[in-house]
Amino acid sequence: MKSKITFLLLFALPFLFPLSSGAVYNEGSSILNKPQFVPNQVVVKYKVSSDPKTLKQQSSNFSISAIDRVDALQDYNQVKQFNQSLGVTNTDVAAPFMNNTYLYITDGAKSVYEIVSIYNGRPEIEYAEPNHLYYPMKTPNDQLYGRMWGLTKINMPGAWDKSTGSRSVKAAVIDSGADVNHPDLKNNIVETKAFCGRFAIGDHATHTNGTVGAVGNNAVGVTGINWEISLMSLDVFCGGGGATMAAIASAISYAATNGAKVINMSLGSYVYSPTLQSEIAKAVNNGATIVVAAGNERQQGKTADQGYPARDPNVITVAATKNNDQVAPFSNPGNAVDVAAPGVGIASTVPGGQYQMMSGTSMASPHVAGLVGLIYALNPSIRPSEVKSILESTAVDLGIPGRDRDFGAGRIDAAAALARVGGGGGQPTPTQSVNPTNTVTQSPQATLTPPKPTTPGGPTPTPGSIVNPTPPDSQCNIGDFNCDGKTDKQDFEDWKTAFLAGNATLKQYDEWRRVVFSRPSN
Known catalytic residues are 175, 204, 362
Pairing of strands 440-442, 432-434: antiparallel
Backbone CA torsion sign across 194, 200, 204, 205: positive
Q: Exposed, middle or buried, 490 (CB in 10 Å: 0-12/13-18/19+)?
A: middle
Give the DSSP H or E segment for 515: helix 506-517
Beta-carbon contacts of residue 113 (< 8 Å; ≥ 6 apart): 130
Q: How far apart are CA 517 and CA 522, in angstroms?
A: 12
Helix boundaries (H) for 89-238: 112-120, 149-153, 156-160, 203-213
Instruction: Say which amino acid occupies 63.
Output: S
Cis amide prior to 309 (ω within 30 degrees): yes
Give the DSSP H or E segment for 347: strand 346-350
CB 8 within 8 Å of CB 268? yes
For 65, 77, 380, 419, the CA distances from 69, given in Å and listed in that order, are 6, 12, 48, 61
Single out the residue of 244, 508, 188, 206 nearest to residue 356, CA to CA: 206
Own/partner long-range contacts of 503-510 (Cβ < 8 Å, ≥24 apart): 503/461, 503/465, 503/466, 503/467, 503/469, 504/469, 506/385, 506/386, 506/389, 508/470, 508/481, 509/389, 509/392, 509/393, 510/385, 510/389
Single out the residue of 322, 346, 264 nearest to residue 14, CA to CA: 346
